[in-house]
Amino acid sequence: NIIHLAIEAGCNAVASTFGVLALNSRKYAHKIPFIVKINHNELMTYPNKYDQILFGNVREAWNLGAVAVGATIYFGSKESNRQLQEIAQAFSQAHELGMATILWCYTRNDNFKTKEQDYHASADLTGQANHLGVTIQADIIKQKLPVNNYGFRDIQFGKYNEEMYQALSSDHPIDLCRFQVANCYMGQIGLINSGGGSKGESDLAEAVRT
């Protein structure tokens, strides 16, 4: 099972759903830290929508021995306001119980993509998502690596200033990632970047470059 694999691989923790972790909590909760993902997409609604549904509560996660809870918010989606309120409340309760909180901060809106460019992973849009995530007291932010910038400017919405792009960042991938870190209270809140899609033989070169 996934928990046994995580232990064998020397992972620091294992993150999964209520069902997976509850099924194995008696055997494994004392052997590896559990992170319960309290919301996720049910993938049955057609057409699919950018929503994350709560499948349990923080107290349930605590009762099965978890040390942390994780959640996803789709910033920019129609459901994002509700998700923000739900997860802010859940994170507050988690901290009261001494648990850590991890937020998957992803952008989702068809208008974030133009004919010329997809800005879902732009440094400015993801940076704002990070800022909102740390505002609701996430201890760790999980975000996609930025691939471009100028999302707010080119889509013509939100609040931005040219200084954001000229003085605080550049087109270099390290600077784009640094802008994300700056939006996590200048690095006071941890940032984990997901690896992104595989491009085949160029994966290693891309990893070294960034």
**pLDDT of 170 over the 60 cut:** yes
> Of the residues 37, 113, 142, 159, which is catalytic?
142
More confident residue, 162 or 9: 9
| Average pLDDT value for the chain | 93
**pLDDT of 23 over the 60 cut:** yes
What's the CATH fold of domain 2-209? TIM Barrel (3.20.20)
pLDDT at 48: 87
**pLDDT of 210 over the 60 cut:** no
pLDDT at 198: 66
Confirm whether 142 is a catalytic residue.
yes
Q: Where are the alpha helices (DSSP H) in 70-172?
A: 80-96, 123-135, 151-155, 162-166
Nearest Cα neighbor of 72 from 35, 44, 46, 97 is 35
178 CA to centre of own chain:
16
pLDDT at 160: 85
More confident residue, 35 or 194: 35
* Tens of pLDDT, residues 46-93: 998 889 999 999 999 999 999 999 999 999 999 999 999 999 999 999
Cis geometry, peptide bond prior to residue 47 (ω within 30 degrees of 0): yes
pLDDT at 203: 72
Count of Cβ atoms closer than 10 Å to residue 16 Cβ: 19
pTM of the predicted protein model: 0.91
